[in-house]
C-alpha cells in the first residue's frame, strides 16, 4: 500500500481522523489519548454491550502512569488495590521466588495494582464520553478495510446485516487475539508454540479476606496453581489442565468448586463469577504497520500470563503510537516516524513474551522428578536471600532516540524516566501532574541551555514543557526568596523544586545537565555542557523531519 506524506494535500474530508477497531481497554485508551489531542476518533466495536467479565487482573506502576495520561489517574485508586508481593512456592510451601511490591514505586505509582477489568473499562468509557471527539459505535463488526490514497475506508456490519462505511486518515486494529485487522493485513506471525490449557475461576468474596502476599504461584506438579488479586473484593484462581485430563471434565462448575475448596472458597464464602478454560499463547506479528493501517494490543501480540504483562504491553503500544500519530496528523513529522512504533514496541514485546515463556517453563512442570530437581536448584541458589524488588520498566534499545555523534543510543536513552514529587508555581505533587504531559526538556539548576528563538519555537510547536530544576532540601542562596516560578533566561521555562531529589540524582548519575523526555516517558536522551540541550533539540527535530532509514521497523 502506498504511503502518502502528511505534507501532501488531502483528497478531501474524512468521517474521522482515526478509526479504532475494538473497544477493550487498549482501544478505548487509544481513542481517549487521540481525542485529548483534538483528533476525531471513531471506535467500532463488535459487541453490542460492554463485556462484564474480567480478563486482565493487574497492571504495573509504569502502566498506571500511562493510564493516568488518559485523565483517569484520580480514579484509579477507587478501582484498584496495591499488591503486596508475588511469591512462587513449592508443593510443600517453600519459597522459590519472593518479590516485594512497594506502595509507591519509581514511577510514582504502586509497583503492582490489582483491578477488576470491567471497572477499568467503565472508567475509560466515562472518560471517552466526556470527549466530543470520540464516537463509539457498538454492534459493528468490521468486515472490510480499503486504503484509498491518503485515506482508509472501513466497512462494518451490524447484527441485522446493515452495512456502514467510515473513512479516516488512519486505522488501528485493537481487536484482540482473533483480530480481523491482522488477518486482513496478512502479516507474518512468529508463534513460539508454547501453550497450556488452564481453568480460570473468577470469584467475588462475600467477606473481606487478607491474602499475603497478594499473588502466589504454587509450583506443584500435582496441579500448578495461580492465585492473584483482581481488585477490591475480587480474586482469581487458575488451575492447569494435567496431562491426560479431559478439558470437558475440567471445564465444569463442580470441578471449579472442588479445586477452590482447599483455599476456603465455597458457595457460602464467594460467588463464582466465571469458570472457563483458556489456552495461552506466545506469539507476535512481525509487521505492525501496512500503509495507513496499524496493529496494537492482542491484535499484535499474545503472551503467557505469568509476568502480568499482556494488557500492560497493549497500553504501552497505544501510548507510544498516539503521540506519533498526533505529530503526523499535525504535519510536524513525516509518516515514516510511525515505523519506529513497530521497531520500538515489537522489540520490547518480544522480550516480554520470551520472559513469560521462561517463567511458564518453570511453573508448568507436572513431572514430580523434574519438579524436585527444579525446586532443589532454585532453593540452593536463593539460600539466605530475602525478598527482591521488581525489575525496572524495560528500556527501548532502538528507535526514536538520541544518538550522540552518530553512534547508537547510549544510556539513559530509552529508559523510562522515574517520577518524583516536585513543587511548581501552581502547587506541588508528582511531576507529571505539576508540569503536564508531552515532551519535557528538563534543565539542571544553573545549566546554560543556549536554545535560541528557533529551537524554542520548535519546542513550542510540539507543546513541549521546558523545565528548570531547582534543588530540593534547603534552598540555596537566592532561591528561598522567590521559590519556583518562571525562568526568564529560558524564555518562560517553568521552575520546579526537586522535592524528592529524584531528578537531580538522575541527571548526576549520567553527568548530564539536560534531559529530553518523550510523551511516553522514555528518555530521548541526555547531554552535558553548554551546547547539550541544543544538541538534543536539534536531533529530535531532524529525526521527526527525516524518513526513518529503510529496514527500520515494519
Three cell numbers written together for 58: 493487574
- Can you give the pLDDT at residue 554? 44
The answer to whether 212 and 229 have CB atoms below 8 angstroms apart is no
Cis peptide before 412 (omega within 30 of 0): yes
Higher pLDDT, residue 329 or 492? 329
What sign does the CA torsion over 349, 355, 359, 364 have?
A: positive
pTM above 0.95, yes or no: no
- Can you give the pLDDT at residue 412? 96
Q: How confident is the model at residue 446 (pLDDT cuts 50, 70, 90)?
A: confident
By CB neighbour count within 10 A (0-12 exposed, 13-18 middle, 19+ buried), where does 487 fall? middle
By CB neighbour count within 10 A (0-12 exposed, 13-18 middle, 19+ buried), where does 243 fall? exposed
Neighbours of 460 (CB within 10 A): 12
Three cell numbers written together for 326: 498526533
Is 92 a residue whose pLDDT tops 50?
A: yes
Is 547 a residue whose pLDDT tops 80?
A: no
The answer to whether 13 and 111 have CB atoms below 8 angstroms apart is no
Cis peptide before 213 (omega within 30 of 0): yes
- Can you give the pLDDT at residue 330? 96
Neighbours of 468 (CB within 10 A): 22
Three cell numbers written together for 436: 503536564
User: Can you tell me the distance from the alpha carbon of 445 to that of 465, in angstroms, rounded to the nearest whole number?
Assistant: 16
Is 467 a residue whose pLDDT tops 80?
A: yes
Taking only the tens place, the pLDDT of each residue in 137-159 is 999 999 999 999 999 999 999 99
Across the range 62-87, mean pLDDT stands at: 97
User: Can you tell me the distance from the alpha carbon of 371 to that of 154, in angstroms, rounded to the nearest whole number?
Assistant: 51
Taking only the tens place, the pLDDT of each residue in 487-520 is 544 556 899 999 999 999 999 999 999 999 999 9
Termini Cα distance of the chain: 13
- Can you give the pLDDT at residue 58? 97
User: Can you tell me the distance from the alpha carbon of 505 to that of 427, in angstroms, rounded to the nearest whole number?
Assistant: 22
Beta bridge partners of 340: none
Three cell numbers written together for 45: 466495536
Three cell numbers written together for 18: 482515526
User: What stretch of H or E contains 180?
Assistant: helix 180-185
DSSP 449-468: ---HHHHHHHHHHTTPEEEE
Winning range, highest mean pLDDT, from 48-62, 101-115, 533-547 = 101-115
How many helices (H) and strands (E) in the chain? 14, 29
Three cell numbers written together for 76: 484509579
- Can you give the pLDDT at residue 139? 97
How much of the chain exceeds pLDDT 70, in percent?
Answer: 93
Domains of the chain and CATH, by start: 16-57+116-188+288-359 (3.50.50.60), 81-109+196-279+364-394 (3.30.9.10), 404-545 (3.40.30.10)
The answer to whether 45 and 22 have CB atoms below 8 angstroms apart is yes
Give the pairing type, strands 523-527 and 189-191: unpaired
- Can you give the pLDDT at residue 23? 98
Across the range 57-72, mean pLDDT stands at: 98
In three-state secondary structure terms, 534 is helix
User: Can you tell me the distance from the alpha carbon of 328 to that of 335, in angstroms, rounded to the nearest whole number?
Assistant: 6
Report which of 225, 196, 204 is spatially closest to residue 87, judged by C-alpha positions: 225
In three-state secondary structure terms, 201 is strand
- Can you give the pLDDT at residue 384? 78
Q: Please, which residues have CB within 8 angstroms of residue 107's CB and are 6 or more apart in sequence?
A: 61, 62, 64, 65, 393, 416, 418, 419, 521
User: What stretch of H or E contains 129?
Assistant: helix 117-129
Amino acid at each position: 500500500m502506498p504511503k502518502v506524506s502528511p505534507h501532501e494535500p488531502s483528497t478531501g474530508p474524512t468521517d474521522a481522523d482515526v478509526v479504532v477497531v475494538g473497544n477493550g481497554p487498549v482501544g478505548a485508551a487509544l481513542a481517549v489519548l487521540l481525542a485529548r489531542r483534538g483528533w476525531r476518533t471513531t471506535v467500532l466495536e463488535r459487541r453490542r454491550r460492554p463485556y462484564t467479565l474480567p480478563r486482565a487482573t493487574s497492571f504495573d506502576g509504569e502502566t498506571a502512569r500511562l493510564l493516568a495520561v488518559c485523565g483517569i489517574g484520580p480514579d484509579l485508586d477507587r478501582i484498584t488495590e496495591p499488591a503486596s508481593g508475588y511469591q512462587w512456592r513449592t508443593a510443600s510451601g517453600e519459597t522459590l521466588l519472593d518479590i516485594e511490591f512497594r506502595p509507591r514505586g519509581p514511577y510514582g505509582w504502586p509497583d503492582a495494582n490489582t483491578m477488576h477489568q470491567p471497572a477499568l473499562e467503565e472508567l475509560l468509557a466515562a472518560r471517552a464520553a466526556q470527549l466530543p471527539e470520540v464516537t463509539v459505535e457498538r454492534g459493528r463488526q468490521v468486515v472490510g478495510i480499503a486504503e484509498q490514497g491518503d485515506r482508509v475506508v472501513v466497512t462494518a456490519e451490524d447484527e441485522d446485516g446493515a452495512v456502514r462505511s467510515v473513512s479516516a486518515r488512519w486505522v488501528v486494529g485493537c481487536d484482540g487475539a482473533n483480530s480481523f485487522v491482522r488477518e486482513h493485513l496478512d502479516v507474518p506471525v512468529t508463534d513460539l508454540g508454547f501453550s497450556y490449557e488452564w481453568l480460570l475461576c473468577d470469584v467475588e468474596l462475600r467477606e473481606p479476606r487478607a491474602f499475603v502476599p497478594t499473588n502466589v504461584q504454587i509450583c506443584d506438579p500435582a496441579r500448578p496453581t495461580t492465585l492473584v488479586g483482581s481488585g477490591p473484593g475480587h480474586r482469581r484462581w487458575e488451575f492447569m489442565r494435567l496431562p491426560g485430563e479431559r478439558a470437558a471434565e475440567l471445564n465444569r462448575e463442580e470441578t471449579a468448586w472442588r479445586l477452590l475448596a482447599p483455599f476456603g472458597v465455597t458457595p457460602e464464602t464467594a460467588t463464582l463469577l466465571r469458570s472457563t478454560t483458556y489456552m495461552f499463547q506466545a506469539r507476535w506479528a512481525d509487521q505492525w504497520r501496512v500503509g495507513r493501517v496499524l496493529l496494537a494490543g492482542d491484535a499484535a501480540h499474545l503472551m503467557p500470563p505469568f509476568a502480568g504483562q499482556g494488557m500492560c504491553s497493549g497500553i504501552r503500544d497505544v501510548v507510544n503510537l498516539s503521540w506519533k500519530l498526533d505529530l503526523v496528523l499535525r504535519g510536524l513529522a513525516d509518516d515514516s516516524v510511525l515505523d519506529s512504533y513497530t521497531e520500538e514496541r515489537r522489540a520490547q514485546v518480544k522480550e516480554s513474551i520470551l520472559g513469560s515463556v521462561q517463567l511458564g517453563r518453570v511453573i508448568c512442570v507436572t513431572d514430580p522428578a523434574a519438579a524436585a530437581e527444579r525446586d532443589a536448584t532454585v532453593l540452593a541458589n536463593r539460600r539466605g536471600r530475602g525478598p527482591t524488588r521488581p525489575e525496572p520498566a524495560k528500556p527501548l534499545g532502538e528507535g526514536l532516540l538520541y544518538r550522540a555523534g552518530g553512534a547508537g543510543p547510549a544510556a539513559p536513552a530509552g529508559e523510562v524516566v522515574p517520577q518524583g514529587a516536585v513543587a511548581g508555581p501552581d502547587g506541588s505533587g508528582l511531576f507529571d501532574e505539576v508540569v503536564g504531559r508531552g515532551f519535557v526538556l528538563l534543565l539542571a539548576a544553573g545549566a546554560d541551555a543556549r536554545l535560541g528563538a528557533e529551537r524554542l519555537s520548535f519546542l513550542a510547536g510540539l507543546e513541549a514543557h521546558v523545565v528548570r530544576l531547582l534543588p530540593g532540601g534547603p534552598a540555596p542562596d537566592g532561591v528561598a526568596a522567590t521559590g519556583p516560578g518562571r525562568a526568564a533566561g529560558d524564555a518562560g521555562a517553568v521552575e520546579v523544586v526537586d522535592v524528592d531529589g529524584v531528578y537531580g540524582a538522575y541527571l548526576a548519575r549520567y553527568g548530564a545537565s539536560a534531559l529530553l523526555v518523550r510523551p511516553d516517558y522514555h528518555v530521548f536522551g541526555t547531554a552535558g555542557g553548554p551546547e547539550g540541550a541544543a544538541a538534543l533539540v536539534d536531533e529530535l527535530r531532524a529525526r521527526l523531519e527525516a524518513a526513518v532509514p529503510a529496514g527500520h521497523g515494519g
